[in-house]
Amino acid sequence: MSSKSPRGHPMRRPVSRTPSWVAPVAVVASLALLVAAFLVIRWYTTPVAPPPLNIDAAQLVVSSITSLPASEFDAVGKGSANNLIKAVSGSLLTGSNGRPEVFYFGAEYCPYCAAERWPIIIALSRFGTFSGLKTTSSSSTDIYANTPTFTFHNATYSSQYIDFAAVETTDREQKPLESPTPAQQALVSQYDTSGSIPFVDFGNRYASSGASYLPDVLSGMTWQAVADSLAQPGSAQSKAILGSANLITATVCRLTADQPAAVCSSSSIQAIEKTLG
């Protein structure tokens, strides 16, 4: 007995021309290709770590970024910086010279620390002088890879207004570099509750955790290129770095009772000081 449709055609189940395994395999293969493409894009877009500058070249860059005219700081104001500085309470933190201390806690591999060192160096250089700063870059295997920066490791700072202490816990390969003293560790535990780095304690009066701008502003740049960009108030680097430097400067001015006046009495610093808690 043969089955026939009402119209006389033999009944037949439709046959799928393509085997059922083809579509899933095609999807998996396409996804594998996409992942491979992503890896290639990542490889091509990751900036190569520029070789560190020699001492003389590094000093030229430091001199360039620490001798910017006051008018440029005023022109930038807060710029594009994100104010992460919060008021904290505690007994005044003083350094080895008995002056209010700015304490930095970070690591060389950390891209956010790399970003934040630029404004820290620029701001504190308005109150004193760094020496022994060397160039380095953040980790090649972390986010915002190879962000150009300096290291506070083996650098010194002198000022008649403030003391500065820094701890770089690891190098850019995340190998141990420096350890905080028990007192410094206590500050980190007390004020850096999020555990983020960089952490900066401004004399136990103010503290910040994290970077005040994103490191991608510095992506692929050399130290000299960053220094050159800071000479232009309208550049993205100026708005981020000098804006952050102004925030730090205003905070330090709070510690020094607005000394030196040449720095702290500027309209932009005074305006930022009013916004600090």
**What does the binding site for other proteins look like in residue numbers (CB under 8 A)?**
13-16, 20, 23-24, 27-28, 31, 34-35, 38-39, 41-42, 45-46, 141-143, 145
Closer CB to other proteins, 27 or 186, in the complex: 27
Closer CB to other proteins, 111 or 243, in the complex: 111
Closer CB to other proteins, 32 or 186, in the complex: 32
SS3 for 30-84 is HHHHHHHHHHHHHHHHCCCCCCCCCHHHHHHHHHHHCCCCHHHHHHHCCCCCCCC
With contact defined as beta carbons under 8 Å apart, do 124 and 130 qualify?
yes
Rounded CA-CA distance 102/245 in Å is: 14
Closer CB to other proteins, 76 or 217, in the complex: 217
Task: Give the closest residue to 263 by CA, choosing from 136, 94, 122, 114.
Answer: 122
Q: Could you tell me the smallest distance in angstroms from the CB atom of residue 198 to other proteins?
A: 15
Q: Could you tell me the smallest distance in angstroms from the CB atom of residue 149 to other proteins?
A: 18
With contact defined as beta carbons under 8 Å apart, do 114 and 240 qualify?
no
Q: Could you tell me the smallest distance in angstroms from the CB atom of residue 252 to other proteins?
A: 29
Q: Could you tell me the smallest distance in angstroms from the CB atom of residue 205 to other proteins?
A: 28
Backbone angles phi, psi at 129, to 5 degrees: -135, 130
Closer CB to other proteins, 38 or 154, in the complex: 38
Q: Could you tell me the smallest distance in angstroms from the CB atom of residue 226 to other proteins?
A: 22
| Parallel, antiparallel or unpaired: strands 199-202 and 206-209 | antiparallel
| Parallel, antiparallel or unpaired: strands 101-106 and 156-159 | unpaired
C-alpha angle 229-232-234 in degrees, rounded to nearest 5: 110
Q: Could you tell me the smallest distance in angstroms from the CB atom of residue 213 to other proteins?
A: 14
Closer CB to other proteins, 111 or 119, in the complex: 111
